[in-house]
Structure 1
Amino acid sequence: MRFADFPFLRYLPFILMGIFCGQSSWSPDLLTLAIILAVIWLCYLLLISSHRKQKSPIPPNSLAYLALFVFGALLVQNKERHRDFRTDLLHADNYLAEVTMYDQQKPNSFENLLEVKSALIEGVWSDAYGKVLVYHQSAQALKPGEVVLVKKKPETIASPLNPYEFDYMQYLERQGIQYRQFLGKDFQVIDSEGGSRFDYFLVHLRHRIAEMIKSKIPNEKSAQIALALLLGQKKALDPSIREAYAQAGVMHILAVSGLHVGIIYAFFILILKPLKLKKEKARLYLLFVILVIWLYALLTGLAPSVVRAATMFSLLTLGQMRERRPSIYNILAFSAILMITINPDLIYEVGFQLSYLAVLGIVMIQPLILNCWLPRYKILEYIWQLTSVSIAAQLVTFPLSLYYFHIFPTYFLLGNLLIIPLAFLIMQVGVPLMILGWIPIVSDALGWVLSWLIWLQNWIAEAIQLIPGGKLDRLTMDFSGMIFVWGMLLIAASWEFGSKRKLSWLALSLVFCWAGFQLYKEYQIPSKELIVYQGKKSQLFDFSSSGVLYSWNLGLEPGEISYSIYPNRLQNHWSQFPESLTGLQHDSGELEFVGADFAFNPANKKLKFSASPKSIHYWSESDWVELPVIDSIAIDSIAYRILF
């Protein structure tokens, strides 16, 4: 097995590097990149033609890889150009927008997404573009395709105020959403005929199927799971059932993914052999399977993991039609290139990253685990195969899961062994229900079976949740830790194929690099550090001294603390339950904190330092920015970090 045998796997890293560089401030603009790419390809063609006559001093491959690098940067700049075309709706007095989805129920309102078509700016109506996330309280539900008139300007989405707080603005921006707005009832539907257009055919079909499923499954929790499993609609999931599935380590089955596409693919492929079709008819049948897979992908909203799986199974099926078995690594890399070409921001989506990592883990690590035991009986062999797949996927994805979610489900293996077979059965009943749901007796029978299977699945998830020690939380892993774990797994997967001496040296080098990076991080930790967090109406101080955390809350609510404060404490490995700072209040109203190097005046919100700080920083655009050192600062609307 040679790396040269996987061309798309060789191309992918260069495109990714180009995307990362294209997002930097020093990246050339779209036109410059297009010219550079054209020149590179012209040079490449000249080198190829001259290479046939005489050996060229420049390898043609190097120019091809450079072209892929520039192509990656070009993808980013092209998307940025489309973003620049969006109208600044903050100056709009009124705007006309098209409804793009059905209402999502929220505690006190309904959520929807509007796509702006025209805006009234300084008394002139003109074409406009932008997406606005809206919340309304109208008794009349909004439907896709309707056109609404909004007589007030939307708001921009605020960036996070505190360190390592979830960046909701960036999350929406990568979906093309720049604004949000609470409408209440202050809008007017001026056209309700647009929803009949073909553009919204799949949206309406998905909604009708969802309503039919809910009507056939009276149990609310079971209906929520059915919608998540079959259609990927998990926004309405009850928090308690979501937590049960998370602790059971099977949350991935509630997001339509490669597992679901694989189940559908397996169902159709398994019945191919008993049909005993001739060659030409078998090919037509396989084309039908590809069509079904992509129809399901379209119906579920083309989530990244679904597109990846649909592309993979389509290529595998095409290879089967030609009686060839294409490399799974090439298929994975090709599907990734295809998806990031359409939308380069996909590389930042957690679902996209976890999906590819899980498949890589199954392909590379699962055979090693599988060979550790050869069961004698079929049932044990099936259990062992499922176990090895679960372990392999978990081994490769857990570093990223800790990096994002800081939780590890202890009983993931038990959950996968019990719930995934049930999910397979649910899909075998649920897909026919989606197709035959309009036939009364058949749909009632399928709905009853589906409801019972989901109830059993929920019961198992909730039972696993009751076992003590169901999850390990507050776990962290930095980027160097992820590289170390993935590097060691890659070495283990390559052990039988590569030079054991070189792999041993590589493993030793990884250990030393990771240990050195950890020592450097420890060295960088200050002995005394003050963090000033900003809440909606007040502040909170965290003062770390010699590894002990002290805190003073000026009025943040528990929900605010969990959302805004915990991420930074987790990042710094600080306690979630700090000791309280002791404050002495002077006649002037100033609070002097005992044992700390600062005092605070609540009246003018001024922070004074009794000892000169080493440095002062404020939080901006996901990083600390240094300020000049002064003896006091006014606590305004941003977070501060002061090192003593």
Structure 2
Amino acid sequence: MHKQPLLILAVCFILGILFQDKIALGESLIDGVAVTCLILLVLICFHSYLLHKIKTVFLMFLLFGGGIVLHFYNTSSPVGKLLMKKHETVSFKISQKLNSSEKYRKYEGIARKGSTTFNAIFYVPKNKEVLDFIHYYKADAYITQPKAPPYDFQFNYAQYLNRKHIRYQIYISEGMVSAQRNDLTWADWLKQYRLDVLNRIDETGISGKTKEFLKGIILADRTEIDTGTVRDFNRSGLVHFLAISGTHIVVIFGMFYFFLIRFAPLQFRKYAVIFSLVFIWLFAAFIGFGNSVLRSCIMLSVYFIFVLLQRKPDLLHSLALSAFFILFGDTQQLFDVGFQLSFLAVLGIYWLNQPLLKYFPKQNNYIKKLLFNTITISLSAQLATLPLVLYYFHQFSLISIIANFVIVPFSEIIIIFSFLITVLISFGIDFELINGMYDGIIEFLLKVIHWFAEVDVLFFENIPMNEIEVMSVSLFVYLLRAAILKFNVKNTMRLIMTALLFLMIRSGMTAFENKKEEVLVYHFNRNKIFSVKNGARVCFWISDMKNKTKILQYLVNPYCASRRVDHFEIKALSPTIQKVVFRNKVYDLK
């Protein structure tokens, strides 16, 4: 507690949020917890010898209770049940542009139906006009509520939207009209200007894939990126390069700081750090305060505040403050996968980077420092996030380690070049030569990433992983630091025992699942699917093979990972079939 008080208090606050999310205390109990927190706060303010000894414990319980209370009030209360009709007239405004699908452009926004106002996801057909942030819209629509999936291995989209305080989906049909808004805030103007810049990028002569890459790497917009490119980044382990993260913020901060100290008048140079921090916060507001962006800005700001105050910077203090700021605003952010992976990556870098660097030659020049740090930082972050990556995505590629070693050293140049191109485009300056150079570089980069993604021999999918296995693998990563720092019998045995514990848990879980026989019926869009699991094998009968790729992605693969299935078959299901035979057993489809 004396060395890392903020981190421990942040952990207590997070445990309080998790407790409330799992137990869901009622309002009367929450009132009791709130009163207890007030009593603890009063006791902490008193000065006495006895209280001084237990003040730390009181503070930990205060943050734990604070997490419970705050999560209770941050949990969205349901909107009054709306009367669902086939056609409704809805007024709405959009607040965020989301990833498009094959048929629809998707937006997040606020809708009004009668006297009721509520958050919703809007699905607008692609043949309709593109929506913006400076208009109100009115249209005929179909309102629906997302339903929880029938089986535990399926992605719970209803819960995901609920954590974003969204309970309704609205499909726009006909008769959409718009009207200029007269209540625009500075945030709306920023969103609209960002949208204008995105549209200007579309008007340039660079290729389509390069445009989408540029939008993603600088303006945090991946809404129109094609599925093939997303697949390449995911399979090569380079998706962090496309998303705005700490690397991007640090590079942009450094670029702005460099220009200030080189070209600003002498009297302003001492304020270069402050001006650079102000700039990255403005940039973060412009692209939207995503988790990784907000976390990076807070950590960088705290770090340089320590520097300006002539105090020794502490990475864990910065990380804990970032968590507090984000979770105080919305405790539901804790359950966002990006939030979890972002913070775990920083913890991994803190825990493993320096020990790994000791195995590399002395960094006596810039090139060695850049190369060796790139390797160790990438490896540290990947090791720390590996348990959660396997838990959420059930896939991993060993080629990602090599891909990061090859691509990440050039990330600083690519980010700077992309930022400058975006600035020129935003001011309406279009240099065909510069655009052509950028287009060629990014096309070559995307081809290299595609090559890495196609190395199937090092790609593994449908990897089963549950919470207990995540904890055991995380324990292995935690103990790895001691073994790297001092490779002796004691530290090696700890790692071996942890690995054996993981294998025992995994073997037990797999044996338990393989004893089960399971028969399930699904409805995927308009497709009827029937599956039979017997031991470590499963067979899927599908009535319409047109959507086979999506069925594999959203149904078959998650099922195999959840049920620890080694082999699956897919067969066509005729509408006239009444019974099926699988492994010498007959199953009735009626």
Give the TM-score of the pair, scaled to structure 2.
0.88
Shift of 1:167: 1.6
Change in 2 beyond 3 A, CA 1:496/1:410: closer
Q: Which amino acid aligns with 2:332?
A: D
Q: Name the structure 1 match of 2:213.
A: 225
Secondary structure of 2:2's partner?
Answer: helix
Equivalent in 530, 533, 536 of residue 547 of structure 1: 536
Aligned-pair identity (%): 17
> How far apart are the structure 2 equivalents of 1:234 and 1:592?
43
Q: Deviations over 1:393-429 (max 9, x none)?
A: 1111122212222222222233223322433212212
Is residue 393 of structure 1 aligned with residue 387 of structure 2?
Answer: no
Q: Distance in 2 between matches of 1:370 and 1:60?
A: 39
1:214-234 Cα shifts (integer Å, max 9, x gaps): 333521111111011111111
Look up the match of 1:447.
435
User: Is the 1:162–1:565 contact (alpha carbons within 8 Å) kept by the matching residues of 2?
Assistant: no
Tell whether 2:145 aligns with 1:156.
yes
Displacement, 1:157? Answer: 0.9
Look up the match of 1:240: 228
Taking the aligned partners of 1:23 and 1:439, their CA distance within structure 2 comes to 47
After superposition, what is the alpha-carbon deviation per residue over 1:485-517, rounded to whole angstroms, capped at 9, x for unaligned?
A: 221222232468999999678657645653553
SS in 2 for 1:23: helix
Residue in 2 that maps onto 1:177 = 166
Provide the rounded CA distance (Å) in 2 between the counterparts of 1:103 and 1:76: 26
Mean alpha-carbon deviation: is it higher for 170-179 or for 11-20? 170-179
CA spacing shift, 1:186–1:173, aligned 2, 3 Å: farther
Unaligned runs of 5+ in 1: 121-125, 606-644
- Counterpart residue number, 1:574: 565
Partner of 1:622: none
Match of 1:99 among 81, 91, 94: 94
Answer yes or no: is the 8 Å Cα contact 2:469–2:505 preserved in 1.
Answer: no
Residue of structure 1 equivalent to 2:48: 51
| Secondary structure of the structure 1 residue equivalent to 2:232 | helix
Q: Counterpart amino acid of 1:28?
A: G
Quote how far apart the aligned CAs of 1:545 are.
3.4
2:457 is matched with which residue? 469
> Is the CA contact 1:110–1:137 (under 8 Å) kept in the aligned structure 2?
yes
Q: 2:541·2:572 contact (CA, 8 Å) conserved in 1?
A: yes
Change (3 A) 1:203 1:499: same
Q: Which deviates more, 541-550 or 568-577?
A: 541-550
Aligned equivalents of 2:363 and 2:191: distance in 1? 49
Between the aligned partners of 1:495 and 1:594, the Cα distance in structure 2 is: 49
Q: Is the Cα–Cα contact under 8 Å of residues 264 and 293 in structure 1 kept in the other structure?
A: yes
Distance 2:225 2:485 in 1: 46
Name which of 535, 553, 556 aligns with 1:565. Answer: 556
CA separation of 1:109 and 1:195: change in aligned 2, threshold 3 A: farther
Aligned counterpart, 1:130: 119
User: What aligned pairs does 1:191-202 form with structure 2 within 5 A after superposition?
Assistant: 191-194=179-182, 197-202=185-190
Secondary structure, counterpart of 1:4 in structure 2: coil
Checking the alignment, whether the CA contact within 8 Å between 2:137 and 2:177 is kept in structure 1 is yes
Counterpart amino acid of residue 9 in structure 2: Y
Q: Is the contact between residue 206 and residue 435 of structure 2 (CA under 8 Å) also seen in structure 1?
A: no
Question: Is 1:74 matched with 2:72?
Answer: no
What's the CA shift for 1:87?
Answer: 3.6
- In structure 2, the residue matched to 1:88 is 81
The equivalent residue for 2:370 is: 382
CA contact (8 A) 2:210 2:439 kept: yes
Classify 1:565/1:255 alpha carbon distance in 2 versus 1 (closer, same or farther; 3 Å).
same
- Contact conserved, 1:163 with 1:567, CA < 8 A, in 2? no
8 Å CA contact 1:147–1:194 kept in 2: the answer is: no
Change (3 A) 1:44 1:200: closer
**CA–CA distance in 2 between the matches of 1:265 and 1:438?**
19
For the Cα contact (< 8 Å) 1:23–1:76, is it kept in 2?
Answer: yes
* Contact map agreement 2:216 2:243 (CA 8 A) in 1: yes
Equivalent residue runs for 1:599-638 within 5 Å:
599-600=587-588, 602=589, 605=590
Query: Do the aligned partners of 1:9 and 1:329 also contact (CA within 8 Å) in 2?
Result: yes
Unaligned stretches of 5+ residues in structure 2:
none
Q: 1:276 to 1:6 in 2, by over 3 A?
A: farther
Of 195, 198, 203, 1:210 maps to 198
SS at match of 2:464: coil
Cα separation, partners in 2 of 1:47 and 1:173, compared to 1, 3 Å: closer
* Deviation at residue 362 of structure 1 after TM alignment: 1.5
- 2:280 equivalent to 1:298: no
Distance 1:555 1:214 in 2: 37
Q: CA deviation at 1:276?
A: 10
The structure with the larger Rg is: 1
Counterpart in the other structure of 1:7:
5
Aligned to 1:119: 113
**Residue identity in the other structure for 2:568:** F
CA distance in 2, matches of 1:505, 1:38: 48
Structure-2 change in CA distance of 1:218 and 1:309 (3 Å): same
Deviation of 1:529 after TM superposition, in Å, equals 0.4
Name the aligned partner's letter for residue 561 of structure 2: L
Q: Secondary structure at the match of 1:297?
A: helix
Structure holding more helix per residue: 2
**Mean Cα deviation higher: 379-388 or 498-507:** 498-507
Match of 1:346 among 321, 328, 333: 333
Distance in 1 (alpha carbons) for counterparts of 2:354 and 2:233: 27
Q: Does 2:30 align with 1:33?
A: yes
2: CA distance, partners of 1:83 / 1:253? 37
Q: Kindly provide the CA deviation profile for residues 585-618 of structure 1, in whole angstroms up to 9, marking residues without a partner as x.
A: 9xxx853747566541x4xx2xxxxxxxxxxxxx
Aligned with 1:372 (options 359, 364, 369):
359
> How many angstroms apart in 2 are the aligned matches of 1:550 and 1:495?
44
Taking structure 1 as reference, are residues 132 and 540 closer, same or farther at Cα in structure 2, changes over 3 Å only?
closer
Distance 2:486 2:31 in 1: 40
Q: Does structure 2 retain, via aligned residues, the 8 Å contact 1:17–1:72?
A: yes
CA contact (8 A) 1:541 1:553 kept: yes
2:544–2:572 Cα contact (<8 Å) kept = no
The equivalent residue for 1:64 is 59
Q: TM-score, normalised by structure 1?
A: 0.81
Equivalent residues of 1:100, 1:115 under 8 A apart: yes
SS at match of 1:162: coil
Q: Does 1:402 align with 2:390?
A: yes
| CA 1:448–1:549: 2 relative to 1, 3 Å | closer
Contact 1:19 1:344 in 2 (8 A): yes
CA distance in 2, matches of 1:208, 1:242: 24
Query: How many pairs are equivalent?
Result: 583
- Inter-partner Cα distance in structure 2 for 1:520 and 1:468: 29
Quote the Cα distance in structure 2 between the aligned partners of 1:40 and 1:94.
46
Q: 1:262 and 2:250 equivalent?
A: yes
Give CA-to-partner distance per residue, 1:253-291, whole Å, 9 cap, x none. Answer: 11111111121123234556667987x744421111111
- C-alpha contact (below 8 Å) 2:237/2:403 kept by paired residues: yes
Question: RMSD value over aligned CA atoms?
Answer: 3.4
CA separation of 1:413 and 1:115: change in aligned 2, threshold 3 A:
same
Offset from partner CA, 1:330-365 (integer Å, 9 cap, x none): 111110121111111111111111111111122211
Verify: 1:481 aligned to 2:474, yes or no. no
Q: Which residue of 2 aligns with 1:329?
A: 316
**Structure-2 separation of matches of 1:166 and 1:247:** 20
Question: How far does residue 329 in structure 1 lie from its aligned partner after superposition?
Answer: 0.8
Greater alpha carbon shift after TM alignment, 92-101 vs 291-300: 92-101
Distance 2:570 2:434 in 1: 57
After superposition, what is the alpha-carbon deviation per residue over 1:368-390, rounded to whole angstroms, capped at 9, x for unaligned?
11111215774344322211222
**Could you tell me whether the CA contact under 8 Å between 1:362 and 1:389 is conserved in 2?**
yes
